[in-house]
Amino acid sequence: MSGVRGGVRDTGFGIRSAGMRKSVDSAGWRDAIIIFEEGRGYMAREYVENRDGGYYVIGSRVSLESVIFLFLDGASPETIVDEFPTLSLEQVYGAITFYLADRAKIDAYLTESEGLWEDARQNQSPIPSALRERLERARRELTSRA
């Protein structure tokens, strides 16, 4: 039930329209912020969160790096959705917008992240020779059948 109280319009959703911001925490609108100015409603959603020291698309296990590296390689948002079918086109555009809004900061994060992955690759222990031989034998058998 909406109404006007003391010059502040109550929208009926627990959100006031006198230029105030309030987070909405209901199904389907997690992390949404609704902003009302001069009686007009504008909605802004958040698409990326910092979780466990990394950036992820909200509501998914897809990292921001996964989306942005494809984007930087020239993939369209539609192609990125094809690569990550758990993401909506809206989420992909939101992730790209998040990146573009603070490109210097996210580029530094991506560079640091790449460095950590490279360190991990260089420091991994080699595959034991017996396992390597079995894998190579299996690969040869598969390619000889094709």
Q: Can you give the residue ranges of every domain in the chain?
A: 3-45, 48-123
Query: 101-110 pLDDT, tens per residue?
Result: 999 999 999 9
With a CB cutoff of 8 Å and minimum separation 6, the contacts of 1 are 12
Q: 48-123, what's its fold?
A: Arc Repressor Mutant, subunit A (1.10.10)
Predicted confidence (pLDDT) per residue in 25-48, tens digit? 334 444 444 444 555 555 567 899
Query: Which helix (DSSP H) or strand (DSSP E) does residue 131 occupy?
Result: helix 129-145
Alpha helix (H) residue ranges in 28-128: 64-72, 77-83, 89-101, 103-123
Predicted TM-score of the model (pTM): 0.56
Rounded CA gap, 101 and 96, in Å?
9
**DSSP structural state of residue 61:** S
Amino acid code (one letter) for 103: R
